[in-house]
Amino acid sequence: MEEELMSLIKVWVYAIISISYCYYTSTRIKSGVFRLLSVLPVCVLFLVLPLFVSSVHFSGSTAFFLSWLANFKLILFCFDQGPLFPLPSNLFRFVCFTCFPIKLQQNPKPQKQLPKWVFAVKLAFFGVLLHIYEYKQYMSPTVLLVLYSLHIYLEYEILLAPLKVLLSISLWCDLEPHFNEPYLSTSLQDFWGRRWNLMVPAILRPTIYLPVRRMAGRKMNSDQALFLGVFASFLVSGVVHELIFFYFTRESLTGEVTLFFVLHGVCTAAEGAAKRTRLVRRWKVSQMVSQLLTVGFVVLTGGWLFFPQLTRSGMIERLADEAFLFIDFVKHKFFYLCRNQSLKS
């Protein structure tokens, strides 16, 4: 664990130095192709950095933060767009908004906030979930599929929610939430656009969806251009997830996860087109039924295309093992500090 932490620190030192270069040097270059050329070496480095750590959590978070989001933000920054434009007021803010999956909250709307104890319940349930894996040989594939889906969601939220709070305090600003209770989604559009991992649609919209829709709109009607924009966004998301899976497993790509996102792109676009028809607008479905159909579709297609590569490589088990290892590491350090304090006194 200590060796892996040192590797992670080195990776993030390289990342911060690279982003500092972008802040002090690239900003002096006029926006456009020449600024992009100055930033491209940093983008290439960010694609390589996850390979310097072997932990699933460390390589996965580095890939998500740097190889995907930071690279897309820097590309937008080259054309005076995205969360890095206008230029943040100082280097610290520039580094934070580049490196981390955060977005400044624009015109905060009063939302129905869940009680604080809900997060504690999720944390406790995640702890129980890790122990349940010890009995997975007695569970049916359907039960395991549900557990894997819960694991991915809970781990993401438990890791990202404290990060958002910490950065919000450090930056003295309100930040957008990462998740909005995705298990309450009433449609695929609702799930992918307004509830699940919200930093991803926030960065795919200006980098992929809007440019593709704008270009397609010159030769197609608005519905076709919209369909193509949605499809392109999900296709890019699938390719990037495929790359992240490679960082996880270090095995050859299979295309399954790309196909998962392509399928959801087609279904999401078709769902949006269907909702605009007169027949579907008249057809009322209860909220509970919509939620069951939506979440059920995501979980079932995930079991078909998203999870197989992870289970074959043993990544789910590695996630659980690393969580226990981290807990033991913190306990060891905590007891070591307490013992030293007691000896000094």
- Cα–Cα–Cα angle for 264, 268, 274, rounded to 5 degrees: 140
**263 and 212 in a common domain:** yes
Of 129, 157, 175, which closes a domain? Answer: 175
Residue 318 belongs to a domain: no
Domain ranges, residue 274: 184-313
- The confidence score (pLDDT) of residue 334 equals 59
**142 and 260 in a common domain:** no
Residue 332 belongs to a domain: no
- The confidence score (pLDDT) of residue 42 equals 97
Closest CA to 139 of 305, 325, 316, 292: 316
**194 and 308 in a common domain:** yes
Residue 323 belongs to a domain: no
**93 and 2 in a common domain:** yes
Residue 127 belongs to a domain: yes
**68 and 42 in a common domain:** yes
Identify the DSSP state of 253.
-
**296 and 237 in a common domain:** yes
Domains contained in the chain, number:
3
- The confidence score (pLDDT) of residue 345 equals 58
**168 and 58 in a common domain:** no
Residue 91 belongs to a domain: yes
Residue 177 · residue 160 · CB < 8 Å:
no
Helix 141-171 vs helix 287-301: angle between axes, to the nearest 10 degrees? Answer: 100
Residue 226 belongs to a domain: yes
Residue 333 belongs to a domain: no
Residue 81 · residue 67 · CB < 8 Å:
no
Residue 341 belongs to a domain: no
**302 and 262 in a common domain:** yes
Per-residue model confidence as pLDDT tens for the chain (345 residues)? 678 889 999 999 999 999 999 999 988 999 999 999 999 999 999 999 999 998 888 999 999 999 999 999 999 999 999 999 999 989 999 999 999 999 888 765 555 566 677 888 998 988 898 888 888 888 888 888 888 999 999 999 988 989 999 999 999 988 888 999 999 999 999 999 999 999 999 999 999 999 999 999 888 888 899 999 999 999 999 999 999 999 988 888 899 999 999 999 999 999 988 888 877 677 778 889 999 999 999 999 999 999 998 888 888 888 888 877 777 766 666 565 666 666 665
Q: Identify the sign of the CA torsion 59, 152, 96, 241.
A: positive
**199 and 162 in a common domain:** no
Residue 84 · residue 77 · CB < 8 Å:
yes
**285 and 196 in a common domain:** yes
**293 and 220 in a common domain:** yes
- The confidence score (pLDDT) of residue 340 equals 63
**120 and 83 in a common domain:** no
Of 102, 130, 152, which closes a domain? Answer: 102
Residue 257 · residue 245 · CB < 8 Å:
yes
